Amino acid sequence: MGAGFLHAFLDESYGADHYYMAAVVVDDLEYRKLCDGLDRVASTAHEQFNVDPDVEFHAHDIMQGRKSWECFRGQVHEAVALYRAAARAVRESGALLIIEGVDVTRLNNRYKYPDPPYDVTLRHALERVNEYAEQRELACRVTADFVNDHNQHRAAVEGYVRTGTPGYRTSKLERLVQPVIWSDSGDERGIQAADMLAYMYRRVHEPEPSRSGRADRAARTILREFGSLQDRKWLP
């Protein structure tokens, strides 16, 4: 990580009708705190459950007891406790936490040719990141979780930097270092933090009838551990 930069890490979580993009924004010192904090949680999990000390914090796998977190299958209390510890590590790093959402049903009903919800929430999140970078008077490097059509999104972001975002409140994202990097989340604690935030935010704000009250309460408890959020949802 270079000196004098901000670093924004992005990941998404979505269902059929709602789409959310989380951004975790840190400076150099906060980034080291974030990585060290999550590494300590992973080390504790290694000692208690024999998971790989370099394990990826992947929200769905943790809560479902899948893949590297198979040790949590049927162990909901343990999974929630670890998730809370990871959320506290994110909060204690001092990171700025941003959530941008969109109601997909309303988006599709309003526009004949709507932008994909990934594009919408990515654009809105990057506008917020750029505003924060302006306040800090720093350039910001952006890393997002890998998606198959990342080259198309990279070109779009380069256009936002040169000519501005679309819409009636257009803004040039001149604080964003180009190009945006799309990376495997397993290699980056920052993306893992964004994944955990986006997943739990969606669970809290888009409850499912099939989910138990106990599960909903656990989700709210975990989300509170992340601390203060800057969250918005577009209702077209």
Residues 6+ apart with CB under 8 A from 99: 20, 21, 22, 23, 197, 198, 201, 229, 230, 231, 232
> How does pLDDT run across 29-72, given as a tens digit for each residue?
999 999 999 999 999 999 999 999 999 999 999 999 999 999 99
Confidence band for 16, pLDDT divided at 50, 70 and 90: confident
Task: Give tens-digit pLDDT for 58-70.
Answer: 999 999 999 999 9
Nearest to 41 by CA among 30, 51, 27: 51
Q: CB neighbours of 91 closer than 8 A, spacing ≥ 6?
A: 225, 226, 227
DSSP state of 54: T
Q: Please tell me what DSSP assigns to residue 206.
A: S
Domains in the chain with CATH codes: 5-234 (3.30.420.10)
Express each pLDDT in 116-160 by its tens digit: 999 999 999 999 999 999 999 999 999 999 988 887 888 888 888
Beta bridge partners of 182: 144
* Spatial contact of 201 and 99, defined as CB atoms under 8 Å apart: yes
Q: Mean of the pLDDT values across residues 162-186?
A: 88
User: Which residue's entry shows tokens 């080259």?
Assistant: 151
